[in-house]
Structure formats: structure tokens, C-alpha cells
Amino acid sequence: SAQPPGSCPDPCECSEAAKTVKCVNRNLTAVPPDLPPYVRNLFITGNRLALLPAGAFPAQRLPDLSALNLSGNHLRAVEAGAFSALPALRQLDLSGNPLVSLSPQAFGEGGSPLEELALRGALRDHGVLLSLATMLQSGALRNLSRLELADNGLLPLPSGLLAALLGLRQLDLGDSSLVGLQNASFQGPGQLQSLNLSEGSLGVLRNGTLAQLRSLPALRSVGPGRNAWVCNCTVEDLVAWLKEGDQVEGKEALSCAYPDKVSGKALLKINGSDLNCSEPVDLPSQLQTSYVFLGIVLALIGAIFLLVLYLNRKGIKKWMHNIRDACRDHMEGYHYRYEINADPRLTNLSSNSDV
């Protein structure tokens, strides 16, 4: 039954003094339509919404809603216009939802005042990640200052994902499958202050990425802890970056994972002698490897040639017989002419017949 205006929906708990409504673990399948208009902080978590359609939060009834938590609702699809009618929305949490569809127009065509977006564990589908990239690149969330993308299969980041986020200050990419940041251009978010890269699969930070991080004037905190760092010749620039500033949190605890001879050694203690970057190349061993590879290739070509001959053995045999017959006929002609030229009687007979 319909609730009186301003009352609290049956499955929810409301506090008008705190401007807060909580609808937690109530097995809801849709957003309650009769939420009180005074709400500023709305928690709808642990339910079974599955779909968030357009107009799920009507502006005329929720003009002051600024913080919306929709985490853990089994959400799979967010349609266009789902959040477009919330003029005061500043914080949105969609974490823990197995999204398979996220409309790039979820916040409408005109953009949103949203400042904080949490998508922890909600971007396991690569198509959803690409939709998010389209949304961010369109400028729909140009006011975003905090973006949480932790605990997602971000391998790799879409190119230009952050380019339009000029006011971004906090970025969380921790606990993900990232193996590199080549596509993560930090030239857009020039105001970035905090970057979390911990608990990932990073093996190395390339020179281009390090150069971008060095160029960020506001960057104060970088967390790269608990990654499997590969300590080969490419790690020298990373070590130099760690030593030159105090941006990296817990840099003393960062250690090599590969190769085995330096496994467990602190990155700050790595030097040129550990990396063997100046050692001459072992040309004889390289040549030996090349010869082995060439032998394998030639053997493979020979095997293919023999297989072709075998498969066409009947045709080849017929062709050989034809050549043999042609050669025999030709040789018999030569033999006949030779006999004529060698016998004077046959020669005179041949001359008289010509006359």
C-alpha cells in the first residue's frame, strides 16, 4: 500500500534528524518508490535489485540525495538515465555488483555533479569496463575527484580512461590484475594526489609511466606494495625514482620477486652488479641456439616435402612414365636416322627416293 508523503517505507529504517534511510538485506527487487524527500544519505545494500532502470530515483521526490550506496545488490544492468534525475548526487557506491551492462548514459546527457564513484569488484566484465571508459571520456563525470576501481580484472586499462578527469585527486587501482600502466595516461588528472597500486600483478613501471608520475605536481602518495617486481635491467629507473623522493609509501618493504638470484632483496638495495646489465652477450650460445632452430625448420620443411610427394605419388608416377615414353620415342628416332646414315645402300636408296 502507498505510504503517506514523508513516511518511511516498510522494509527500511529512517532517521529524519540524520537525513538517512537504510534498506539493508531486505531482499528488495526494486528501489522503494516512496522514499521520504528529506533523505540525503540512502543505503540500499544486500538486496536483489538485478536491474536499475531509467528514472529509478525521481528528482521531484529526492532533491537532496547526495550519498547513494547500492553495493552488494546483485546488480547486473544499469540503464541509461538511471541516475540522471539526482541533481545533488555527490557520492555513489556500486561495489560488489556483478555488472554485465553499464550504459555510458547512466548519468544522462548533461553530466553529473558526482564527485566520488566506487566500483570495487564490479568491473569483472570487460565490456562494462569499456562502457565505463566511454562514460568517463564523454565528460559526463567531469567533476569526479575520487575513483575506486580496486579488486577488478583490469587487464589492461582502456586507452584514455582518465584523460577527461581533470579534477581527479584519488585513484585506487589496488588488488587488480594490472601488469602495466602503459595505457593509463596521467596527463589528464593533473591534480592527482593519491594513487594506490598495491596487491596487483605489476612487474615493472616503464620509463614513460615514471615520467608521467614525476610530472604530477600534487602527487603525494603512491602505494605500489605487494607486487611481483621483476628485477632485471628495466628496474633501474624504478629504483632511481624510489630513491629520489618520498612519494612512495612503504618503499623500504618493496622487494624483488624475480629472478631467483635476487628474490627477496629490497629494491632500494639493488645495484648494477645485481642486474648484470653490463655483461657481454654470449654470442656462441646464441649462435648455437640459432643453428638448432634452423635445423628444426629445415627438418620440418623436408618432412612437408616428403608428405606432399607421398600424397601425389600416383600422379608423379604417371608423369615419370610419360617422360620415359617420350624419351624412348625420341631416342628411337635418333637410332633410326643413325642406321640410315651408317649403311651406304640405305643412303643411296634414300637419295633416289628423294629424286
pTM over 0.85: no
Model confidence pLDDT, tens digit, residues 144-156: 999 999 999 877 8
**In whole angstroms, how far apart are CA 225 and each of 51, 112, 174, 195?**
37, 34, 9, 12
Model confidence pLDDT, tens digit, residues 33-53: 889 999 999 999 999 999 999
Give the whole-angstrom CA distance, residue 143 versus residue 138: 12
At residue 354, the pLDDT reads 47
Give the whole-angstrom CA distance, residue 298 versus residue 319: 27
Model confidence pLDDT, tens digit, residues 326-346: 787 777 776 666 666 666 655
Give the whole-angstrom CA distance, residue 169 versus residue 103: 25
Q: Spell out the SS3 assignment of 95-127.
A: CCCCCCEECCCCCCCCCCCCCEEECCCCCCCHH
Model confidence pLDDT, tens digit, residues 197-248: 998 888 888 888 888 888 888 999 999 988 989 998 888 889 999 998 888 9
Give the whole-angstrom CA distance, residue 291 versus residue 277: 26
At residue 341, the pLDDT reads 66
At residue 208, the pLDDT reads 85
Name the CA radius of gyration of the chain, rounded.
38
